[in-house]
Chains A and B, each alone.
Chain A
Amino acid sequence: MARFASRHPVWTFIIVLGLAVLLWLIFTPWSPQMEETLGRKRIFLNAIFGGVTLGALYFLVASGFTLIFGLMRNVNLAHGSLYLLGGYLGFEISEFTGSWLITFPIVFIIVAAVGIVLQHQVFRRMDGEDLRQTMVTIGLSVVLADLMLWYWGGQSYTIFAPDWLSGPMTLPIISSIRDSGEIVYLRYPAVRMAILLAAIVIGIGMWLLLNRTRLGMFVRAGVDDREMLAASGVRIQYIFLAVFAFGAGLAGIAGIVGGTFQSLSPGEDTRFLLASLVVVIVGGMGSIPGAAIGALIIGLSEQLGLVYAPTYSVVFTFLIMALVLAFRPQGLLGSAR
């Protein structure tokens, strides 16, 4: 970060200024003149929070995707199917046990196991054959989608959030000040705040794992040069298995999250595959902080677009992707190799 600041002082200044304006807009009460030009503050805050929480969901899906790509150079186009599978399993388990929290570890383990099978039985057999792997994962995603359609049918599923997370919570952010001087604080769905918090914890956990542990060291070394790592005696196939399982498990629990604040139905798998592809392209293939920034940008652009320019909101995502591809093809935080 310090290197970036010294190398690009102008850009750093613009980014810091933008962030400062954003924070100021969020925390300061808006004057009537501002409300007139920018609309009500409550709407702005909700769009920002909606974007950030949506970004959290995208991050959960895309971080596994980008990790798998970064290490194995393997574009797993069945990643969306793992997301949807996790969501459906989460629905069944939460209906069966009546508990929302317990579904997370169970689904993580089951979907991670599916990931291990995929890596061990499918991808290991075609190591380094990009095109073949891509075609096989497309095929797998179609097969999995049809199997899920067969078992769960075409209707939509929503997973019910537990009572202690249902309804809105009050955040210590001023939404508006009534004429009487009474301060109205922002009320926001509690379940989405919980999910945002969980995504941040998972993100930090992943960063620590990658940067502070021996396994993380192997993974980073593998991202940089697989052959060298294998040659120095590390059993790289085990690392592949672990990373694939972890990425798949993350996609699985993202399915629960998506099923809780959106819904699950056939077609969501490709929607989230597309979303994670866009996030990873914007953020940079193989970079976890890149996935976080990409997810945040895409989530915010979708929500702000929907509220302030509904006609063009569908275009923004792809416009951002096109701009990134045009000016920084390796992605915002990707390394140019």
Chain B
Amino acid sequence: MKKVLVTAALAASVALPSTALAQDDPIRIGILVALEGAFAEGGADGVRNVEMALEEAGMEINGRAIEYVVAPSDTTPDTAVRQARKLVEQDGVDIILGPLSGSEGIALRDYAKTVPDVTIINGISGALETTWVDPAENFFRFNLDGAQWGAGLGTYVVEEKGWTRVATVSADYSFGYTNFLGFAVDFCRAGGEIAERFWVPLGSSDFGGVIAALPDDVDAIYLGVGGTDAINFLNQYQQAGAETNLIGGTIMADQTVLTSRGRAKDALIGTPTSGPVASDNTDPAWTDYVARYQAAFPEDERFPSPSLFGVGYYVAAIAAIQALEAVDGNVEDVAAFQEALATMPLETPLGVVELNENRQATGTVFINEVVEDGDGGLTNQLVATQEGVNQTLGMTADEFRAMGLPSRDTPDCAALGGAG
């Protein structure tokens, strides 16, 4: 009994001052980021970028200091929620920046509803459902989702390349469906035809049978796989002597594939892909950001240029800073702070980003093509940009809803004006 009393007294003494002295307290920001598992390197880059954004703001807003706490997750939803709860209940943060991966985002959306006074600004998680299905009022996402990342690529291949009939091979899981949907919606609306769709389990290493089953009479093959799956596919694709044009999903031609050793990746030369960043972007907002990133950290403690994850967390941090400045650092006025987040256009290294009524970003997608970099390696070259890509990919909300959530059979190409 005595123990309970002591604990209660202690808890009260801890809880009391924080409400009484709110104005003199620092603004507390929690960084929820995956620092274990496959995305650990990218997550560490996310932390670096938040530090950089806060340093640029002088670690204070209107005289109020900013403090931050890093909460590591391992990309699983239950760890993400546990760490978010720890940030809110133990560290008493006002703002959470994160999470990093798709299923974590969905879990945090649901958690957000239980803590309306805490503001969550998404790190870089990209599941469509997070801000589309039953979104939370206090969850904001300034990066594009997986479906938006595919937008613009379809029109590009139809109009610039003249490829109108494709077969698709994509990974059989949520991101595979979502990223494919972005490409397919655009491609079908441009009059393209999807001859056949193949779905391969994540982690398949031998694609011989699938490669043989690909139809001959197509202009190109869309590949929505990534990492080692992508390399295995390309290797076996070359060995089978196939030479059709390729179109890549967002993770098809990322650094993991382009920096792989051996010649499997050479099959990618000339392949268009789409995604949220273009490393050779000449927009001053981007080049300036890259220069600051490179100056802020010694060369052995950072990537050559910021990773996708780093950019996402940077954008989340500057969004928080801009909204905090708008309310003069008075983060306790949650309504005004969230209003500022939701309504103010944000200048980011990737162009101006605005949020829609679901607090989801509308922004720019970059179309890249894989080229040889002259030193025997491969690199992405920016060939087109698609501006103002919104959550519903240019449809009305009702049309987008009617199409259904991403799955193997969604979207129905014929219903969008294409064929197949």
Contact = CB atoms under 8 A, between A and B. Distances in A.
B241 A156 contact: no
Interface string B348-369: 0000000000000000000000
Given A43-B212, A167-B241, A159 B232 contact: no
Contacts of A157: 260-262
Nearest to A306: B209
B262 A306 contact: no
B239 A47 contact: no
Contact of A191 (B199, B209, B239, B260): B239
Nearest to A165: B239
A329 interface: no
B343 interface: no
Contacts, number: 118
B263 A310 contact: no
A319 to B, nearest CB: 15
Contacts of A160: 262-263
Interface stretch (B49-57, B70-78, B151-159, B200-208): B200-208
Contact of B239 (A49, A167, A307, A313): A167
Contacts of B231: 156, 158, 263
A18 to B, nearest CB: 20
Contact of A311 (B172, B213, B240): B172
A261 B239 contact: yes
B198 interface: yes
Contacts of A271: 205
A46 interface: yes
Contacts of A303: 206, 208-209
Nearest to A54: B206
Interface in B250-290: 256-257, 259-264
Interface residues of A, number: 44
A302 B209 CA distance: 10
A310 B200 contact: yes
B195 to A, nearest CB: 14
A263 B206 contact: no
Interface in B115-167: none
B236 interface: yes
B264 A263 contact: yes
Interface in A269-323: 271, 302-304, 306-307, 310-311, 313-314
Nearest to A43: B213
Contacts of A304: 209
A91 B239 contact: no
B245 interface: no
Given A91-B262, A156-B256, A189-B240, A263 B235 contact: yes
Contact of A46 (B211, B241, B257, B259): B211
A189 B236 CA distance: 8
Nearest to A161: B239
Nearest to B257: A156
Nearest to B235: A158
Contacts of B263: 158, 160
A235 to B, nearest CB: 42
A282 to B, nearest CB: 18
B210 interface: yes
A91 B240 CA distance: 21
A262 B211 contact: no
Contacts of B172: 310-311
A49 B236 CA distance: 13
Contacts of A302: 206
Interface string B240-251: 110000000000
B392 interface: no
A189 B206 CA distance: 13
Contacts of A161: 239
Given A47-B209, A49-B208, A156-B228, A263 B262 contact: yes
Contact of B235 (A39, A262, A306, A314): A262
A161 B261 CA distance: 14
Nearest to A42: B212
A81 to B, nearest CB: 17
A91 B235 CA distance: 15
A302 B210 CA distance: 12
A208 to B, nearest CB: 30
18 contacts: A46-B209, A46-B213, A47-B208, A47-B212, A91-B261, A156-B256, A156-B262, A158-B231, A168-B239, A187-B241, A190-B239, A191-B239, A261-B239, A262-B205, A263-B232, A304-B209, A307-B210, A307-B213
Given A46-B212, A261-B236, A310-B199, 10 more contacts: A39-B213, A47-B208, A158-B235, A158-B263, A166-B239, A191-B239, A261-B239, A262-B206, A262-B236, A307-B209
Interface of A: 39-40, 42-43, 45-47, 49-50, 53-54, 91, 155-161, 166-168, 187-192, 259, 261-263, 265, 267, 271, 302-304, 306-307, 310-311, 313-314
Q: Closest 10 A-B residue pairs measured CB to CB?
A: A158-B262, A46-B212, A50-B208, A307-B209, A189-B239, A168-B241, A47-B209, A156-B260, A158-B264, A157-B261
